[in-house]
Amino acid sequence: MSKLEVSAVGAGNVSLGGEISVHRLGFGAMRLTGEGIWGPPKDRKGAVAVLRRAVELGVNFIDTADSYGPGVSEELIAEALFPYPEDLVIATKGGWNRPGPDQWTHDASPEHLRKAIEGSLKRLRLDRIDVYQLHIPDPAVSFEASVETLAELQREGKIRLVGLSNVTREHIERARKIVPIVSVQNRYSFADREWDYVVDYCERNGIAFIPWFPLGAGRVAAEILNRVAEAHQKTSMQVALAWLLQRSPIMLPIPGTSSMEHLEENIGAASLKLKQEEYRELSAVVELAKAG
């Protein structure tokens, strides 16, 4: 495939709450920060260039969070892309903090979420955030209280659309009683299918599903991936992304990278179509791994 044919447009579109339509292959901006998702990147110019190239390649959905860096990923997005192209959707998150390298602490209290969104608006240089996601339910805070706060912020005009992350179906149903939910972001890949039932639920209810960590692991998975990749003269990452795109029309993968080469490779998956038997074989990896 020539460089000109590499475009996120090939993945088709997915709707966010019937309000915004984005190409179904986005970009995850977590890996642009320093090691351990902490501090500035080693190569700031390189990180800015990767973000700009992602948009050139048709990406119009970028995922980030206040905790990536913390603050660093959002600042890089603004540095690279502000003033933003009209169709660019930035989805950020709050409620899960990063007090040090590789460390996470919960705070999805109403007070914290209100403060967090002000910080994200400032760093992203926006008056309103298109998609704001609760990063993870906080075990020490009522889930309803966290979601109600996002609903209030939406009524105040600071958030356009609300999403959830790291949730069960029960969480989604409880949240939808308070505010429309346009997206759910959970860990998911062809070899990591704990949230299959959530994907199906999202498909039935027109909610976008944003899988993170799209390249599944494990020996059986790697063998099958490599074989399918060879048959298409593609890479295993491209096959893993193509499986996700084929899994459901509401799937919106956000592969993340700090490397220009990996970015182009990942976007190159947008137009890869797997044969039915390849799709089925990859889907069965989970059963094979259990059996043996």
Q: Which residues bind ligand NAP (CB under 6 A)?
A: 28-31, 63, 165-166, 185, 212-215, 237, 254-259, 262, 265-266
* Closest to ligand NAP by CB, 120 or 266: 266
Give which of 16, 33, 142, 171 is closest to 90, Cα–Cα: 16
Catalytic one of 68, 84, 132, 188? 68
Angstrom CA distances, 253 to 5, 109, 148, 207, 287, stand at 19, 29, 27, 14, 23
Q: Phi/psi at 238 (nearest 5 deg)? A: -65, -40
Known catalytic membership, residue 68 = yes
Contact 76, 115 (CB under 8 A): no
Report how far residue 289's alpha carbon sits from residue 191's, in angstroms, rounded to the nearest whole number.
9
* Closest to ligand NAP by CB, 18 or 44: 44
Report how far residue 161's alpha carbon sits from residue 19's, in angstroms, rounded to the nearest whole number.
9
Q: Phi/psi at 252 (nearest 5 deg)? A: -130, 85
* Closest to ligand NAP by CB, 51 or 159: 51
* Closest to ligand NAP by CB, 213 or 277: 213
Least CB distance from residue 121 to ligand NAP, whole Å? 19
Report how far residue 278's alpha carbon sits from residue 125's, in angstroms, rounded to the nearest whole number.
44
Contact 22, 16 (CB under 8 A): yes
Least CB distance from residue 215 to ligand NAP, whole Å? 5
Least CB distance from residue 253 to ligand NAP, whole Å? 8
* Closest to ligand NAP by CB, 165 or 246: 165
Least CB distance from residue 225 to ligand NAP, whole Å? 12
Least CB distance from residue 52 to ligand NAP, whole Å? 16
Least CB distance from residue 292 to ligand NAP, whole Å? 26
* Closest to ligand NAP by CB, 56 or 156: 56
Residue least distant from ligand NAP (Cβ):
28
Residues marked as catalytic: 68
